[in-house]
């Protein structure tokens, strides 16, 4: 299948007082038409930066320093700002982190919808009003809520409004950064369901950025795992959970509590992610990895395709099944931290 | 304060395996606890009788010595308010808490300070809970100074021992560090160490790992479990995450809009849930397994407001089993199994 978006060796750097921080360091990743791709990683791994790079809304001290972002035949990384403006909202929209707090508090919800539809979308007022009502139905928001001010809505309703607003101009690609993180589980459940239904109804592709592997498990058919600015594993969600190929993914699964099949012991990943201003040579996970060998500390492992659609960046990926068994032993991980 | 609810929760569901019903085994006994927060309707501060928010609305339970109680529920259910009352950081509007035979409401002066030494809290956000201008050594020494424990060298010994106990080693390097130099997981270990400095018997942890990365959460949770066991601590663990409660706590209590819906042994409550609200939470909880088929949920997500007087069951508007009686009579906790109680009219 031809990807809707193809990232090739994408690099994003932040210039900070301490030096250059390579937040996204050579990311290659495809987003397929009509899929929800989960992008999972912990704080500081570069997942939010990656999302913001795609729609080109990076902070002032950040810069795309390399790579390409192919979208419908054009390289977004090379596009001028005015040309990019024509793509934002219309072609690629974003539900930013804490977007439920990003609505303007002094305007009624309906007026905020109209502004997007009329100003960015070029719709007439009556067409825009029709579309706003449709959008409410689409995300499961009571139509009467268009009369409301944001403070009159619950967190879940505001989050639905933010998603509706991002979908206002029917973009083929939606970037959703932690769309359910601050919400209670019941609301979370409903919104993720809605998101899945939307991809089916509209054919929109979604990149769902989250730290929560349970959200990915319940929502995404395919997932990518990010660590310290790099993609370390890609595959179908079912396969990544059943047979992880990268020790970091194994560690994430070992440390995540399961309510339905509770573990006797949760195994933490000892240590902390590296400083991306001066990352270690070799594999960035090596200092925390229980399976690191000499080669891991000198040579950066490339993201390799191990089976169709299954990618991992680990020198020992071929031994993954055996490492997976060993990874269930908590003592192995403690040794790694020393 | 007007608006006392018509029916008080009778009976005191017991928490903890260790035969919670015998009063001698309980460290904490909570009876008919209420906390109403007054609301101001006008800028002039005029209050009418109904202007209050029912933060905690008639909760009774006991906590057995050495046991761990998990309190779970959605945001706004009153779990943090309840935790703060347990430590007497808030005073109840009504009802009482008896801690080791002492009525907390009556505490003042030196007796209150003595209680504070025995009961400690661990906070959600370690970056806010620990003074950024204090070194870790000073942050940990502060409780000793407040309670007049030890002197100079002896205090430093205790600080180093505490760091060692939470696996921050070598302890000497952490003593002079500032909070911003530590990772979230390390700083939350400092938060735990600080709570333990005065050698408490009772520890209340309010969402202690929700700010941490998933891969380091497990380390902090394991440490809390290990320390609670080795020190025979009685712990209360507040969380919105049922999977964490299941991992850490022997007893679980589910709260909804200020009321306790269900309480009992954790495995019982989470595998044999009786209250429709517990069942809803369980159905909605995300599971880290792509082969798990999440059940359909019929309930609306809209939580009613806890303002004004209570009538009937707090959950009735969202409950798939709501009956006429649910709108008029507040359900009392009913035994649905050994040490397992549900406040629901379905069970009599």
Contacts of A131-139 with CB under 8 Å at 24 or more apart are A131/A168, A132/A168, A135/A164, A135/A165, A135/A167, A135/A168, A136/A164, A138/A164, A138/A167, A138/A198, A138/A201, A138/A202, A139/A163, A139/A164, A139/A167, A139/A194, A139/A198
Q: Are strands A205-210 and B14-15 parallel, antiparallel or unpaired?
A: unpaired
Q: Which residues of A touch B296 (CB under 8 A)?
A: none
How far apart (Å, rounded) are the C-alpha atoms in residues A118 and B303?
34
Q: Which of A154, A189, A215 is opposite residue B284, by nearest beta carbon?
A: A189
Q: List, for residues A143-164, the tens digit of each pLDDT value.
A: 888 999 998 888 888 888 999 9
Residue A238 has pLDDT above 70, yes or no: yes
- Test B286 with A185 for CB contact under 8 angstroms: yes
How far apart (Å, rounded) are the C-alpha atoms in residues B340 and A285?
45
Joined together, the tokens standing for residue B21 give 């019903």
| Phi/psi-derived region of residue A282, left when phi > 0, alpha when psi is between -120 and 50, beta in every other case | left
- For residue A25, the number of C-alpha atoms closer than 13 Å in the C-beta half-sphere is 23
Residue A223 has pLDDT above 90, yes or no: yes
- The C-alpha torsion from B49 through B50 and B53 to B55, rounded to 10°, is 70
Q: Which residues of B touch A40 (CB under 8 A)?
A: none
In sequence order, the β-bridge partners of residue A40 are A210, A225
Phi (first) and psi of residue A244, to 5 degrees: -60, 145
Q: List, for residues A315-332, the tens digit of each pLDDT value.
A: 999 999 999 999 999 999
Q: Which of B218, B289, B291 is opposite residue A255, by nearest beta carbon?
A: B218
Residue A251 has pLDDT above 60, yes or no: yes
Sheet of strand A304-307, all strands in order from the earlier edge strand to the far edge: A92-95, A173-177, A205-210, A36-40, A222-227, A230-236, A310-312, A304-307
DSSP state of A235: E
Q: How far is B216 from chain A (nearest CA, A)?
A: 5
pLDDT value at residue A141: 86
Q: What is the mean pLDDT of residues B107-127?
A: 93
**Range with lowest mean pLDDT among A55-64, B250-259, B296-305:** B296-305
Residue B192 has pLDDT above 60, yes or no: yes
Mapping DSSP onto H, E and C, the string for chain B reads: CCCCCCCCCCCCCEECCCCCCCHHHEEEEEEEEEEEEECCCCCCCCCCCCCEEEEEEEEEEEEECCCEEEEECCCCCCHHHHHHHHCCCCCCCEEEEEECCEEHHHCCHHHHHHHHHHEEEECCCHHHHCCCCCCHHHHHHHHHHHCCCCCHHHHHHHHHHHHHHCCCCCHHHHHCCCHHHCCHHHHHHHHHHHHHCCCCCEEEEECCCCCCCHHHHHHHHHHHHHHHHHCCCEEEEEECCHHHHHHHCCEEEEEECCEEEEEEEHHHHHHCCCCHHHHHHHHHCCCCCCCCCCCCCCCCCCCCCCECCCCCCCCHHHCCCCCHHHHCCCCCEEEEECCEEEECHHHC
pLDDT value at residue B162: 95
CB of B330 closer than 8 Å to CB of B258? no
How far apart (Å, rounded) are the C-alpha atoms in residues A186 and B284?
5
Q: List, for residues A94-107, the tens digit of each pLDDT value.
A: 998 877 777 888 99
Q: Which residues of A touch B290 (CB under 8 A)?
A: 216-218, 237-238, 241
Kindly identify which residue of chain B lies nearest to residue A288, measuring between CA atoms. Answer: B215
- Test B218 with A268 for CB contact under 8 angstroms: yes
Q: Which of A43, A154, A255 is opposite residue B302, by nearest beta carbon?
A: A154
Q: Which of B213, B240, B302 is opposite residue A211, by nearest beta carbon?
A: B213
Q: What is the mean pLDDT of residues A185-213?
A: 91
How far apart (Å, rounded) are the C-alpha atoms in residues B335 and B338?
7
Count CB atoms within 10 A of the CB of residue B283: 17
- Test A260 with B292 for CB contact under 8 angstroms: yes
pLDDT value at residue B9: 38
Q: Which residues of B touch A258 (CB under 8 A)?
A: 243, 287-289
Instruction: Report in angstroms the alpha-carbon separations of B313 from B50, B53, B123, B178, B280.
Output: 18, 16, 31, 49, 16
Asked if A336 is an interface residue toward chain B (Cβ–Cβ < 8 A), one would say: no
How far apart (Å, rounded) are the C-alpha atoms in residues A296 and B39?
61
CB of B8 closer than 8 Å to CB of B69? no
How far apart (Å, rounded) are the C-alpha atoms in residues B54 and B307?
6
Residue A227 has pLDDT above 50, yes or no: yes
Q: Which residue, chain included where needed, has tokens 């899929």?
A: A35
How far apart (Å, rounded) are the C-alpha atoms in residues B90 and B39?
17
Count CB atoms within 10 A of the CB of residue A330: 16
- Test B294 with A218 for CB contact under 8 angstroms: yes
Per-residue confidence band for B46, with pLDDT thresholds at 50, 70 and 90: low
Containing A68, the helix (H) or strand (E) segment is: strand A62-71
Joined together, the tokens standing for residue B344 give 């629901």
pLDDT value at residue B14: 52
Question: Collapsing DSSP states into helix, strand and coil, what is residue A168?
Answer: coil
Q: Which residues of B touch A188 (CB under 8 A)?
A: 284, 286
Mutate to test the interface with B, among A44, A188, A266 (most CBs of B within 10 A): A266
Q: List, for residues A8-19, the tens digit of each pLDDT value.
A: 999 999 999 999
Q: What is the mean pLDDT of residues B23-52?
A: 75
Q: CA quadruple A162, A166, A168, A172: dihedral positive or negative?
A: negative
Asked if A237 is an interface residue toward chain B (Cβ–Cβ < 8 A), one would say: yes
pLDDT value at residue B1: 35
Kindly identify which residue of chain B lies nearest to residue A187, measuring between CA atoms. Answer: B301
Q: Are strands A36-40 and A62-71 parallel, antiparallel or unpaired?
A: unpaired
Containing A225, the helix (H) or strand (E) segment is: strand A222-227
pLDDT value at residue B42: 56
Q: What is the mean pLDDT of residues A191-212?
A: 92
Residue B306 has pLDDT above 90, yes or no: no
- Test A218 with B292 for CB contact under 8 angstroms: yes
How far apart (Å, rounded) are the C-alpha atoms in residues B73 and B62?
18
Residues of B with CB under 8 A from a CB of A: 74-75, 183, 185, 213-222, 240-244, 246-247, 270, 280-292, 294, 297, 299, 301-303
Q: What is the mean pLDDT of residues A272-285?
A: 93
Q: Which residues of B touch A222 (CB under 8 A)?
A: none
CB of A50 closer than 8 Å to CB of A103? no
pLDDT value at residue B169: 86
Q: Which of A43, A185, A252 is opposite residue B284, by nearest beta carbon?
A: A185
Q: What is the mean pLDDT of residues B39-63?
A: 76
Q: What is the mean pLDDT of residues B193-200?
A: 96
pLDDT value at residue B310: 73
Q: Which residues of B touch A43 (CB under 8 A)?
A: 213
CB of A179 closer than 8 Å to CB of A198? no
- Test B215 with A251 for CB contact under 8 angstroms: yes
Number of A to B CB contacts under 8 A, please give it. Answer: 122
Per-residue confidence band for B13, with pLDDT thresholds at 50, 70 and 90: low
Q: How far is A287 from chain B (nearest CA, A)?
A: 15
- For residue A91, the number of C-alpha atoms closer than 13 Å in the C-beta half-sphere is 17
- Test A267 with B218 for CB contact under 8 angstroms: yes
Q: Which residues of A touch B281 (CB under 8 A)?
A: 185-186
Q: Are strands B259-265 and B102-103 parallel, antiparallel or unpaired?
A: unpaired
CB of A161 closer than 8 Å to CB of A194? no
How far apart (Å, rounded) are the C-alpha atoms in residues B213 and B341?
34
Q: How far is CA A321 from the centre of its chain?
A: 27
* Mutual angle of helices A185-202 and B276-284, in 10-degree steps: 50
Count CB atoms within 10 A of the CB of residue A263: 17
Mean of pLDDT over chain A: 93
Count CB atoms within 10 A of the CB of residue B233: 21
CB of B137 closer than 8 Å to CB of B178? no
Q: How far is A105 from chain B (nearest CA, A)?
A: 21
Mutate to test the interface with B, among A38, A185, A188, A337 (most CBs of B within 10 A): A185
pLDDT value at residue A31: 97
Q: How far is CA A216 from the centre of its chain?
A: 10
With a cut of 0.90, is the ipTM above it?
Answer: no
């Amino acid at each position: 299948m031809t990807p809707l978006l193809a990232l090739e060796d994408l690099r994003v750097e932040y210039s900070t007082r301490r030096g250059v921080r390579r937040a996204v360091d050579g990311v290659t990743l495809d987003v397929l038409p009509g899929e929800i791709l989960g992008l999972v990683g912990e704080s500081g791994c570069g997942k939010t930066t990656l999302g913001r790079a795609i729609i080109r809304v990076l902070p002032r001290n950040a810069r795309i320093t390399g790579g390409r972002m192919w979208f419908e035949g054009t390289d977004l990384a090379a596009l001028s700002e005015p040309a990019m403006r024509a793509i934002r909202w219309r072609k690629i929209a974003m539900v930013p982190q804490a977007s439920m707090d990003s609505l303007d508090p002094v305007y009624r919800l309906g007026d905020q919808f109209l502004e997007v539809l009329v100003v960015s979308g070029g719709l007439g007022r009556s067409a825009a009003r029709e579309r706003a009502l449709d959008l409410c139905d689409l995300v499961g928001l009571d139509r009467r809520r268009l009369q409301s001010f944001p403070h009159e809505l619950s967190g879940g309703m505001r989050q639905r409004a933010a998603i509706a607003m991002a979908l206002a101009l029917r973009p083929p690609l939606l970037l959703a950064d932690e769309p359910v993180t601050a919400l209670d589980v019941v609301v979370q459940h409903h919104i993720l369901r809605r998101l899945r239904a939307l991809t089916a109804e509209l054919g929109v592709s979604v990149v769902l950025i989250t730290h929560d592997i349970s959200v990915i498990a319940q929502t995404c058919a395919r997932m990518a795992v990010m660590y310290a600015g790099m993609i370390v594993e890609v595959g179908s969600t079912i396969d990544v959970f059943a047979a992880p190929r990268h020790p970091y993914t194994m560690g994430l699964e070992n440390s995540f509590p399961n309510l339905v099949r509770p573990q006797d012991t949760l195994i933490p990943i000892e240590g902390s992610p590296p400083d991306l201003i001066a990352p270690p040579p070799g594999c960035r996970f090596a200092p925390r990895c229980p399976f690191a060998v000499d080669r891991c500390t000198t040579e950066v492992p490339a993201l390799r395709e191990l089976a169709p659609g299954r990618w991992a960046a680990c020198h020992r990926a071929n031994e993954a099944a055996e490492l997976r068994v060993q990874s269930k032993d908590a003592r192995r991980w403690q040794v790694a931290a020393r | 304060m007007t608006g006392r609810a018509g029916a008080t929760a009778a009976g005191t569901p017991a928490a903890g395996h260790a035969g919670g019903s015998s009063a001698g085994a309980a460290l904490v006994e909570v009876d008919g606890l209420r906390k109403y927060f007054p609301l101001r309707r006008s800028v002039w501060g005029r209050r009418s009788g109904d202007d209050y928010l029912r933060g905690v609305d008639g909760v009774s339970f006991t906590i057995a010595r050495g046991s761990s109680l998990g309190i779970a529920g959605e945001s706004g259910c009153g779990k943090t308010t309840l935790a703060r009352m347990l430590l007497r950081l808030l005073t109840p509007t009504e009802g009482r808490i008896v801690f080791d035979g002492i009525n907390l409401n009556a505490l003042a002066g030196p007796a209150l300070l003595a209680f504070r030494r025995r009961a400690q809290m661990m906070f959600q956000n370690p970056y806010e809970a620990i003074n950024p201008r204090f070194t870790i050594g000073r942050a940990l020494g502060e409780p000793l100074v407040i309670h007049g424990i030890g002197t100079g060298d002896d205090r430093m010994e205790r600080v180093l021992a505490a760091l060692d106990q939470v696996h921050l080693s070598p302890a000497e390097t952490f003593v002079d560090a500032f909070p911003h130099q530590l990772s979230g997981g390390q700083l939350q270990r400092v938060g735990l160490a600080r709570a333990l400095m005065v050698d408490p018997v009772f520890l209340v942890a309010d969402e202690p790992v929700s700010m941490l990365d998933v891969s380091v959460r497990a380390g902090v949770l394991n440490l809390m479990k290990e320390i609670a066991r080795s020190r025979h601590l009685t712990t209360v663990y507040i969380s919105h995450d049922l999977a964490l409660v299941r991992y850490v706590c022997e007893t679980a209590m589910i709260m909804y809009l200020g009321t306790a819906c269900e309480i009992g042994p954790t495995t019982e409550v989470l595998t044999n849930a009786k209250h429709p609200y517990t069942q809803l939470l369980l159905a909605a909880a995300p599971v880290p397994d792509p082969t798990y088929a999440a059940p359909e949920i019929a309930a609306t997500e809209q939580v009613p407001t806890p303002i004004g007087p209570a009538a009937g069951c707090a959950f009735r508007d969202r409950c798939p089993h709501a009956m006429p009686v649910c709108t008029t009579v507040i359900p009392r906790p009913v035994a649905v199994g050994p040490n397992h109680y549900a406040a629901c009219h379905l069970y009599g």
